[in-house]
Chain A
Amino acid sequence: MSARTHHRRRQQGWTGWRVLRTATVVLGFAFVLGPVLPVVVQAFNDSSVFPDRMRGLTLHWFTDLLTYDEFVAGTWTSAKIGIGATALALALGVSTAFAVTRGPRWMSGAGVTSVLMGPIVIPQIVVGLAILQVINQLQLRVGLAGLIVAHGVFVAPFVIRLVAGALETQGTSYEATAMALGSSPARVLTSVTFPMLRPALIASSVFAFTLSFVNVPLSLFLAPSDQRPLPISIYQQMASNRSPVLAALSLLLAVLLLAAAAAVERFLRVRLLQ
């Protein structure tokens, strides 16, 4: 084979790969992001039917949002649950991350890890129902506590992942130095370990809060009828009365949550997803 044919064959191969790669990536992104399009269109569409063909531009679906008491109240309820769940998930996730990265070897094994990661793959609607049954059987009056516990346990695996990754990277040498210089373990934690973990802690807080804030299946059965989280109010509206207000609300929500996540990633130089 002459050098020239060899060269040409390589060139042809690259064209094929580029075409295949571009097609895959374009189609893949279109699939993942495509469903946002109708929501954007309908949120500004001057038609009271969802979905409908374009009948003119309007902003009144957004201004209408404030007149829905359940959406305003739901936002506060979801924020309360989100803050509680984030605190719980951080407590559980950070302590577990210490154990799996620094504890006895068997704790970093596949067994413990897969149990702790279990909540990711257990159907959330089942867990919501099961926790509800426990609450009913014990005749507890828990308010939002049931929701906070459920959300906290279910977002903790994401915190474990992020914090364990950071602990691996930062190692123990700085702590060892501080201890050798006479700092107490508590002092080492507050002035060495946690400050170094800060980016991971902030990223996991944002991630945990967001996942809790948008959750439907865990909340569906656990939501007290007088304190419905926002996604549950939207869910119930979707089942009974589909209106462009829902498009406006979910668009606004998605923009705010994604902007928060993007800001954290950008300004704190945290790689939220690695």
Chain B
Amino acid sequence: MGVTPRRSRGARASTSHVIGGSGLSVLPAVIAFAVAVLVPAAVIFHQSLQPNPLGDPSAPHDTWGNYHRLLTDPIYRDVLLRTLRVSVVGGIASVVIGLALVIGLTAFRRREVSSVWLFLLVAPILSGPVITVLGWMGLFVEGGIGYRVVNALRPLWGGTPGRVAETEIAMTIGTVHFVVPFIVLTLYPIARTVSKDLLEASLTLGVPPVRTVFRVVLPLCRPGILAASIVGLAMAMSAFVNARFLGGERNLVLTTLVSQLVNTFNPTLAAASSVLLVGLGLLLVAVYGRVLSRSVRREAAR
């Protein structure tokens, strides 16, 4: 998602005469970011260290008590593990699906992909989560198409056929559906720059198209896959409407836990869960980013 400057050094010399050349115009965004993100983050962290207003007022105050409870109470630990499962499985599945779609649309094509196709793929971003979640509810109802497909596939991972609506599987599928358009947005600009001449060379040397995709196109998309994976993980973890309605109230993840804790008037535990959610996201992104960027570097060194 980076913005790469394309200017030469010569152009840089006249920077002072260029409108916006001082870079000071970044200030409004910095201030807005501080007001809308950093200050609230500090406030919510402070709040997460306060005692539970519903708790015993005579009990000694334990600063990290809310976090301790989230990490040790089996109910909350379940939520934490489910969040990890759904975001890792969902994030990776989204990248695989998004990548397959983007490569399927662009590989070996000299002409630009019609913007109608791209528009349809990112349409769920513009239509918002509500309509697609309603749709998944309709598909997952007993006897619906989604219900049948999931139950036909369930034996593959050792599951037993049965209810689909308001399960972790339904939530994971909904999350993948929510994330895929963002993956397409991230990967498409990179996939379309893959050199057609390299593909031509590979084909001329007798490498079949499918193997060319795996040996040439995929490695060239590596940096994009890194960016897309981070976007995918973070978005899968922060998906809310999908988790609320497709997972239901029995399959909470951190986002839906936060909303439930706010509704049950437990603001300090809600604050601690929020901090945990952001922390977990940063941790996953850091670990994942490090693993992937190492493999990108190894590829580049080869």
The answer to whether A41 and B120 have CB atoms under 8 Å apart is: no
Q: Name B's A-contacting residues (CB within 8 A).
A: 1-7, 11-12, 14-15, 17-29, 32-33, 35-37, 39-41, 43-44, 47, 97, 100-101, 103-105, 107-108, 115, 118-139, 141, 144-145, 177, 180-181, 185, 188-189, 203, 206, 208-210, 213, 230-231, 234-235, 237-238, 240-241, 244-245, 254-255, 258-259, 262, 267, 270-271, 274, 277-278, 281, 285
Q: For residues 191 through 236 of chain A, which have their beta carbon under 8 Å from a beta carbon of chain B?
A: 193, 207, 210-211, 213-217, 220-221, 231, 234-235
Report chain B residues within 8 Å CB of A133: 40, 43-44, 47, 267, 271
Closest to A169 in B: B6
CA distance A42 to B136 in the complex (A): 12
Of B33, B189, B281, the contact of A115 (CB 8 Å cutoff): B33
Tell me whether B3 and A164 are in contact (CB under 8 A). yes
Contact: A247 with B101, CB < 8 Å?
Answer: no
Q: Given A25-B101, A36-B132, A129-B262 in contact, is the A103-B20 Cβ separation under 8 Å?
A: yes
Complex contact B124–A134 (CB within 8 A): no
B274 touches which one: A39, A95, A126, A207 (CB < 8 A)? A126
Contacts of A34 in B (CB 8 A): 135, 139, 145
B residues less than 8 Å from A33 (CB atoms): 120, 123
A33→B17 CA distance, assembly (Å): 49
Please give, as numbers and ranges, the residues of chain A lying within 8 Å of B103 by CB-CB distance.
24
Chain A residues whose C-beta falls within 8 Å of the C-beta of B19 in the assembled complex:
98, 102, 172, 175, 185, 188-189, 193
By the criterion of a CB under 8 Å from any partner CB, how many residues of chain A are at the interface?
116
Pairwise interchain contact B137-A51, C-beta atoms closer than 8 A: yes
Number of A-B contacts (CB under 8 A): 331
Instruction: Establish whether residues A153 and B47, one from each chain, have CB atoms under 8 Å apart when the complex forms.
Output: no
- Identify B104's interface contact among A25, A92, A273, CB under 8 A: A25
A273 touching B118 in the complex, CB below 8 Å, given contacts A17-B210, A39-B138: yes
**A268 beta carbon closer than 8 Å to chain B:** no
Complex: how many Å from CA A261 to CA B122?
Answer: 11
Closest chain B residue to A246, Cβ basis? B134
Residues of A within 8 A of B47 (CB): 133
Q: Is the CB of B131 within 8 A of A254?
A: yes
- Comparing A55-63, A64-72, A105-113, the segment that makes contact with chain B is A105-113
A interface, CB within 8 angstroms of B? 6, 9-10, 12-14, 16-17, 20-21, 24-25, 28-29, 31-39, 41-42, 50-51, 88, 91-93, 95-96, 98-105, 107-108, 110, 112-127, 129-131, 133-134, 137, 149-150, 152-153, 156, 160-161, 164-165, 168, 171-172, 175-176, 179, 185, 188-189, 193, 207, 210-211, 213-217, 220-221, 231, 234-235, 238-239, 242, 246-247, 250-251, 253-254, 257-258, 261-262, 265, 271-274
> What is the CB-to-nearest-CB distance from A85 to chain B, in angstroms, rounded to a whole number?
11
The reply to whether B138 and A108 contact each other, CB–CB distance below 8 Å, is no
Known contacts A20-B210, A103-B20; is A130 also within 8 Å of B44 by CB? Answer: yes
Q: A251-B131, A258-B127 are in contact. Are A123 and B277 (CB under 8 A)?
A: yes
Tell me if A176 and B14 are in contact (CB < 8 A).
yes
Complex A-B: 15 CB contacts under 8 Å: A17-B209, A17-B213, A29-B120, A31-B177, A33-B120, A37-B138, A41-B138, A51-B138, A108-B3, A123-B281, A137-B43, A172-B18, A253-B127, A254-B123, A262-B119
